[in-house]
Structure 1
């Protein structure tokens, strides 16, 4: 389109259809459907002008529609592998699963949590007004955070953002209280299965609201009290998922401020201090050539890392691979499934978590490898009887995954080269008739 025509449709005064599309969060397809219907009704009067106007209006709508995708629908190729790990079980967060029949029982509880959150302030009426005004300011940018059609009016969307945001904050604040956790929760979360189930739901890629909403509400909450809470919002998030994270406390990643929703906050938490990915070769093997038990036979030692390193801070030096401990439970598995889906969907990001899971998958060829990694305290399984389930988990989570970069390429290359040299060294010694017990590999 030429510059003259571009300026012409930007200055066009007929905004009726554009305004209708931007007042309601209708999909682009729905907007085009309405436009085409209107066009067919007007064709007999001025067919060419109506068609030209419909093109101009559509381009104008696209120009004004925000597009900053962060929350996605899980691709069908991943869903078909394990449907349950992507679906909320008890509570919907955000618009994608809102209104689902089996999740409606939690709606009243979410409103009660909002009431309780307001009760923490000095002036509930004033705080609620600030909440609603803040949500109104954010609403125009929210639809652009979702990579799928919402098809709901803006008032409904603002309801969801406000109520779900307040529910999450009140839940995090309550859970941070040791007495709350020790006493088994409250009337909403008192079942032994409730908190793990809610953790599952809050970690889902499709069950998110923009982090800017939580940040806004939390800031208003602090200012209305005139004092700070004992934790920052980021710390509340990590505290709630603490049982699903590392054994040791890891310092907050400075990139946490870039998180666009709770799941991305967890993603940033697990990232290494250096996010540089190694250069890949087309024929590069993504992983070790040997499983854990065979690595030991190849002269490699496997040890638990010491110190406060992140989950991906894996090191190899002088024949020893050091792994931070991975604690595996149902919540951690849910987080991993959804982090992989997040990395598969987003544009421009690296595949750190997918790389890690591919690496661990290569270590585990049988239950013997799991037993070895447990003995070495590399893997900590919540239920000892779930060893076979862990094997199935690692074998299935990497299916249908497209890996565009591999964070551990250099480590794998070094380890594979070391094992190859080790075997070559012993073959020469064997050929010369030197007993293996006299062989020493320098480290």
Structure 2
């Protein structure tokens, strides 16, 4: 009996080890996939004279620009203390945060491109301070009652605007799973009843073009960081990745298309990328262009061009608008149709902006290829119909000309016959 019992125990141990091996293997594979590089440097070919659109001006987040904007460091630490101090046992909360971030450290490091020259403690401290700063900023934005009267981020005009611009920069991100884990641990004030996604959307909604309710619903999709979260909500509803390379583009700009018979109408709903063509009308969502829009578009394109995502829909959109709006006359047409409203500084033109956005782009998957084909086919059909109508008109005119000539000939024949009859009458009577 003892031998049988020992055998049973031995078998049980073997099974347990086997399960542990499988669990460890599966967990390792999941971590490799989920820890893929998704926060990269902006490709050099995109920077040019517009490097300022990729660099933080007020606050640095993550390792790429750490230590370059030290004036905000004290504010970060104050926000960290405010967030954690809502729990009477601040030490216990801090301990949980550090232990959780320690577990995520390897995955978080793998999210960045290149080596991060920070010790384990420094890296975890950075994730904690930056992550809690973002969470507390989101929380304060959601409720006025949680803001202090002397908080310069809310009292100084333009600072919140600058913060929004900084927090959408590709090089100024921390992994979203870090924010999610901290949000699960830190004490959230009772005045704040929103999810992390709701808080993020409420903070960024003023700079995301499109219908807010539609965009908010798409924020629940999995994302790697805050910029990627915004990118996900802008992906067109009908987006499908193409296996074949792009072959067709647009060879006419807006004014030429209008002359060719295509009309333009403003579409006020959904994502700004949801451009549609139907029955001779190109429906283009309204786009309000201001300096923050430019920064957002540039960094969304940089996200796509750095191969951090496999849906280059913003790159496709920039290319389409550039082709449509390639001159001041095209921009005037778009403004008249209320498709574009220009709120850029000085005398800057929107058509020039999109021309600049498209410099250095690599476009392999053009989302609007089918739309361009549809417009070309519509123009060709319209030309054929016009040609047939002209041909029919020419034929009718030719027939009418022939009939007129015949009528004239008949009249001449009648006249000649009458003349000969008259001459014959007079000759016989004389």
Pick the TM interval, shorter chain.
0.7 to 0.9
Aligned length: 363
Partner of 1:304: 266
2:176 aligned residue (211, 226, 235): 211
| Distance verdict in 2 for CA 1:372–1:176, change over 3 Å | farther
**SS at 1:302 equivalent:** strand
Does residue 406 (structure 1) correspond to residue 372 (structure 2)? The answer is: no
Does residue 131 (structure 1) correspond to residue 92 (structure 2)? The answer is: no
CA contact (8 A) 2:218 2:232 kept: no
Cα distance in 1 between the residues matched to 2:90 and 2:277:
56
Q: Deviations over 1:195-224 (max 9, x none)?
A: 121111111111110101110111113xx4
Superposed, 1:388-403 pairs within 5 Å as 388-403=348-363
Give the gaps of 5 or more residues in structure 1: 1-62, 435-443
2:255 aligned residue (285, 293, 300): 293
Does residue 330 (structure 1) correspond to residue 291 (structure 2)? The answer is: yes
Q: Tell me the TM-score normalised to structure 1 length.
A: 0.75
Cα distance in 2 between the residues matched to 1:427 and 1:210:
59
Q: Pairwise CA RMSD of aligned residues? A: 2.8
Partner of 1:417: 377
Q: Deviations over 1:256-276 (max 9, x none)?
A: 442111110010010122331
2:235 aligned residue (256, 271, 279): 271
Partner of 1:58: none
Partner of 1:190: 155
Partner of 1:317: 278
CA contact (8 A) 1:66 1:144 kept: no
Superposed, 1:110-129 pairs within 5 Å as 110-121=76-87, 123-129=89-95
Give the gaps of 5 or more residues in structure 2: 1-30, 395-430
Cα distance in 1 between the residues matched to 2:347 and 2:384:
34
When Rg is computed on C-alpha atoms for both structures, the one with the higher figure is 2
Partner of 2:199: 236
Cα distance in 1 between the residues matched to 2:149 and 2:88:
28
Q: Deviations over 1:165-202 (max 9, x none)?
A: 01111111112236789x99932342222112111111
CA contact (8 A) 1:245 1:327 kept: no
Q: Please state how far the C-alpha of 1:424 moved relative to its aligned partner.
A: 4.2
Q: Deviations over 1:258-309 (max 9, x none)?
A: 2111110010010122331356566x233x3322222222211111225x42
Q: Deviations over 1:34-69 (max 9, x none)?
A: xxxxxxxxxxxxxxxxxxxxxxxxxxxxx9999510
Q: Deviations over 1:295-325 (max 9, x none)?
A: 222211111225x422222221111121222
Partner of 1:145: 111
| Distance verdict in 2 for CA 1:66–1:171, change over 3 Å | closer
Bigger fraction of residues in helix: 2
Does residue 89 (structure 1) correspond to residue 51 (structure 2)? The answer is: no
Partner of 1:350: 311
Q: Deviations over 1:99-127 (max 9, x none)?
A: 12xx1101111111111222344543332
Point out the more displaced range, 244-253 or 408-417: 244-253
Cα distance in 2 between the residues matched to 1:329 and 1:392:
14
1:169 aligned residue (112, 127, 135): 135
